[in-house]
Structure 1
Amino acid sequence: MAGFFKASSASIASAVASDDDFADYSTPSVAPAAAAEPSFSPLSFASSTPAPASPWYAVWERHSLSEFKSEGWILLAMAVVVIAHIWGSKRNRAIATGFIATIAPVLSKEFSQVGFSKQAKESEDVDADKIVKANSNQDFVSYATGRNNVAFLNTTIKLQRRNNPVAWFIEAALGFFFEALATTSNDSVTMILCPFDGADPTTNGKTNSNSKYDNFVWAIVNKKHMRRWREERYDLSLTRTSDWESLPNWLAVMGESKEIGDTCLYNELKEIVKECGSFLEFLLVSDMPKEKPTKLSELTPRKRITLELTLPPSSVAPETVQRLVQAFIRLADHLAANAHFRPEVLRKVKATREDETRKLKKAIEEETKEERELKLAEKKKELRDAKLRSMSAAEQKKFLEKEREKERKDAMKKQSRKA
């Protein structure tokens, strides 16, 4: 028994020795590994100091400007559009005010009220900025009234789309390639004067027999755009074109009679139009509508004196523009005193208007006839469809065959007539 315990203790001792030998062989030395690389044990993480977090408002630490390139380009484009709009609007306003300021001395001299508000004039000086009203960023209007032989004067200034560079560029490009659109890309001024003879509805029935003159159409037109104006204006299409000895070659006279032209072209007007240059588009005296009439009521005479200008360039002296506007306004006085023609001349003018009335009546009658025929055809079709619905299948077949036979006979008759 004692021998057994001795053997057991010896085997255990040998096993322990063998385990120690295995441990010496399999377990690496801890000291060199610790010296070669740092320890990443959980204890080392727990004992290290964390990096400080950036505050919530420190956006620059989390983002950079390079992330917002597309937004930057959009904001830049918007800024350019807004700046161009503001500049263009102010520029157009300055141009319109500048033109009115040029002719303001003439308007204040010729009219008792210049502008839309009724206020007494203490002097002939008028604040141009107060008498111009903007309908849009490119359309401006002014108004004057209070004068013998004139009910009112409307001035419309239509400018380029400087407040919209894209549209401005497109209009300019189209105007370069198409002659009909060339004038729409320019700055223009239209002055319309209504004579005060009581025949116009806008005069509220007031009559001044001394302001009356005969009905006619007469104009001085720039030859460069004469074709366009003849096509766009119905009243000018009723006239004949001729050259005038005392006028420059770039102007033509369009009228219904030479005697009318001799009367309208008085000396002051004749002299100033020679100095105007190409910015004068036309000066028109008319009692007929601008647009082609579609109703007989539109042929009722409404007298207008119209001055159409391309905005004068800075090279034109302000005195030239003032003299032209003054001659245009005083044309109403000249017509009231002198535009009373011989019966032979008036018969020719009257014949033209009667011919236009007949043409319009015929066009209205043809249009009415077509409408009546269309309504009659629709009514016949409704009756035929109702009749077919009330028939049996055999009766419908017989009815349709009879219809086709009738159509065939009618076609044969038409062919025989043509032969």
Structure 2
Amino acid sequence: MAALNIVKYLSPPMPNVTPDYDGLEYRWRFLTFRPAYFKNEVYFIGAAVLYLTFYFIGKKTNARRANKWFEAHLPLYQAQFSRPANAEGLVSDGNSDFFAFSTGRRALASLHTTFTLRPRHDLLQIAYQFVRGIVELDYIVQDKVDLEFTFRESVGKEGAVPEAVWAIVSKEEMKRLRNDRWDLTFTKTTENNALPSSLVVMSEFADITTNLLKPYGQFQLVQVLSQPAIQPYFLSLSLTDQPRVRPSVPLEPSERHKRLVLSLSLPSGSDAAATLPLVAATFQLVDVISGEGKLPGVRGGLNAALRPETRSKLRKAREDVEKQLREDAQREKKEEEEEEKAAARKKARDERVSKLSAAEQQKVLEREKKRLLRKSQGKVKAR
């Protein structure tokens, strides 16, 4: 009976269908449709149509923007890699994330090209981003493409690629990177007169910056970054051997990789080739760091070009970080063990007290209150 009442309460009222209805009416066999009885439904259907239209247009727009950029850079990928991309081209992960995997090049294990676009297919998310952008002035949402070059050389062995952290970053991007990337906390931020005023250098040691910004034959990274056509799209270029997120324990060498990461703001479809010179220059920078290719002065790679004291300081910095991570992990483990012991003691005490009579339980509680009071008074006096 109660179930029937609930169903009756939830059921919408029956429309008032009267025989003297003289409005618009559609009949087909035994079916009759009278639009005048449907008022709110029009708004619901309109909202659904709007959302679906927004979804399909946004989905298509994101796919088109990502593919335009990738198609403009694909000839360069084909010239650099024996396997420049998947057989199907870009692979989508949802409607705003796309990626490509490239491999088969000297000095590199792989290149991951990852597109992170605005959720144009989701009207609610777009509205949220718009409102948040009004409230938080430093909140910026943009289409991005990240190129993560992973060196073939493993961590833990003295080779051509140093275990170091270095980056050139747009000033507008610097605050976000400081918050999002733990590896860049290894660095110090400085201005460099050779670079445009909109860029800063984040480096562990000046020796690394000097060797990466100097010319190698016809290749000059500073010259490429100074091109006005590239600057609106450049976000960051970083060399790193550390993870993006601070690990809870020191990582084994096999769990870390030496990487060069180029982050760009994605150009519009009509200007997709604007970043092509910078991407081509990044491949040359890979050769400079790894000591490969035909550029003059790169033999032995970046590690061989660094001063011995710089290499020693880099090793010492990593030893100190690993020591700090190990100490933090041991301290957290000790705190967890103490909490578990305290919880076990409390459980045993509660079980013991629960077996006592009501009068004895009251005495135990009073003794506990007095003990806590003396303890709190002692802390006040100590202050």
Per the TM superposition, whether the score is higher than 0.5 is yes
Deviation of 1:270 (Å): 1.7
Of residues 185, 189, 197, the one that matches 1:241 is 189
Which residue is 2:346 aligned to? 381
The one-character-per-residue Cα deviations of 1:352-379 (angstroms, maximum 9, x if unpaired) are 2223223222322221221122122223
1:221 to 157, 169, 194: 169
Report Cα offsets for 1:4-49 as digits up to 9, x if no partner: xxxxxxxxxxxxxxxxxxxxxxxxxxxxxxxxxxxxxxxxxxxxxx
8 Å Cα contact 1:215-1:301 kept in structure 2: no
Q: CA deviation at 1:69?
A: 4.2
- Go from structure 1 to structure 2 and tell me whether the alpha carbon gap of 1:218 and 1:398 turns closer, same or farther (over 3 Å shift): same
Looking at structure 2, the residues matched to 246 and 149 of structure 1 have their Cα atoms a distance apart, in angstroms, of: 28
Which residue number corresponds to residue 322 of structure 2? Answer: 357
What is the SS of the residue equivalent to 1:281?
Answer: strand
In the aligned structure 2, how far is the partner of 1:58 from the partner of 1:310?
Answer: 59
Tell me which amino acid in the other structure corresponds to 1:344: E
Q: What is the RMSD computed on CA atoms of the aligned residues?
A: 2.9
Q: Which amino acid aligns with 1:304?
A: R
Structure 1 position 408, deviation (Å): 5.5
Task: Give the TM-score of the pair, scaled to structure 2.
Answer: 0.79
**C-alpha spacing 1:179/1:135, structure 2 compared with 1 (3 Å):** same
Is 2:143 the counterpart of 1:187?
A: yes
After superposition, the Cα gap between the structure-2 partners of 1:142 and 1:414, relative to the gap in structure 1 and judged at 3 Å, is: closer
Contact 1:114 1:131 in 2 (8 A): no
In the other structure, the counterpart of 1:67 is 37
Structure 1 residues 382, 70: closer, same or farther in 2, change over 3 A? closer
SS of the residue 1:213 aligns to: coil
- CA distance 1:160–1:317, shift in 2 (3 Å): closer
Report if the CA contact (8 A) 1:138-1:158 is conserved: yes
Structure-1 residue corresponding to 2:97: 139
Residue 146 of structure 2 aligns to a residue whose secondary structure is strand
User: Residue 290 of structure 1 aligns with which residue?
Assistant: 244
- Cα displacement (A) at 1:313: 3.9
Aligned pairs (5 A) from 1:291-306: 291-297=245-251, 301-306=256-261
Q: Secondary structure at the match of 2:226?
A: helix
* Cα deviation, residue 231, structure 1: 1.2
- Aligned equivalents of 1:67, 1:335: Cα separation in 2: 73
Within 2, Cα distance between the matches of 1:395 and 1:98?
Answer: 80
Give the Cα–Cα distance (whole angstroms) in 1 for the partners of residues 131 and 372 of structure 2: 57
> Which of 1 and 2 has greater Rg?
1
What is the alpha-carbon distance in structure 2 between the residues aligned to residue 136 and residue 408 of structure 1?
A: 59
What is the match of residue 269 of structure 1? 221
Q: TM-score, normalised by structure 1?
A: 0.72
Amino acid at match of 1:349: L
Q: In structure 2, do the counterparts of structure 1 residues 417 and 186 end up closer, same or farther at CA, with 3 Å as the change threshold?
A: closer
Cα distance in 2 between the residues matched to 1:414 and 1:92 = 61
Query: What does 1:52-131 correspond to in 2, within 5 Å?
Result: 57=28, 64-117=34-87, 130-131=88-89
How far apart are 1:212 and its partner, in Å? 3.6
CA contact (8 A) 2:65 2:268 kept: no
Opposite residue 374 of structure 1, the aligned amino acid is E
Q: Post-superposition shift, 1:383?
A: 3.6
Corresponding residue for residue 335 of structure 2: 370
CA change 1:401–1:344 in 2 (3 A) is same
Report how many aligned residue pairs link the two structures.
Answer: 339
Runs of at least 5 residues in structure 2 that lack an aligned partner in the other structure: 1-26, 292-300
Instruction: Give the deviation of 1:198 after TM superposition.
Output: 3.6
Structure 1 counterpart of 2:287, which letter? Answer: D
Matched, 1:339 2:302: yes
Gaps of 5+ in 1: 1-55, 118-129, 201-206
Cα distance, 1:271–1:315 mapped onto 2, change above 3 Å: farther
Are 1:311 and 2:281 an aligned pair?
no
Partner of 1:231: 179
Q: CA deviation at 1:187?
A: 0.9
Q: 3-state DSSP class of the match of 2:104?
A: strand
Which residue in 1 is equivalent to 2:111?
A: 153
- Identify which range, 393-402 or 135-144, moves more after superposition: 393-402
- For the 8 Å contact 1:284–1:307, the answer to whether it is kept is yes
1:113 aligns to what SS in structure 2? coil
SS of 1:147's partner is coil
Label 1:410 to 1:84 Cα distance change in 2 as closer, same or farther (>3 A).
Answer: closer
TM-superposed CA distance for 1:98, in Å, is 0.1
In structure 1, what is the Cα distance between the partners aligned to 2:29 and 2:362?
Answer: 91
Please state how far the C-alpha of 1:315 moved relative to its aligned partner. Answer: 7.4
Q: 1:28 matched to which residue of 2?
A: none
Distance 2:118 2:139 in 1: 13
Q: Distance in 1 between matches of 2:314 and 2:123?
A: 48
> What are the superposed Cα offsets for residues 193-221 of structure 1, whole Å, 9 maximum, x if unpaired?
10011449xxxxxx9x9x74110000000
1:197 has 2:153 as partner: yes
Greater relative contact order: 1 or 2 (C-alpha under 8 angstroms, separation 6 or more)?
Answer: 2
Contact 1:196 1:212 in 2 (8 A): no
Amino acid at match of 1:83: T
Q: Which amino acid aligns with 1:312?
A: P
Give percent identity, aligned residues only: 28
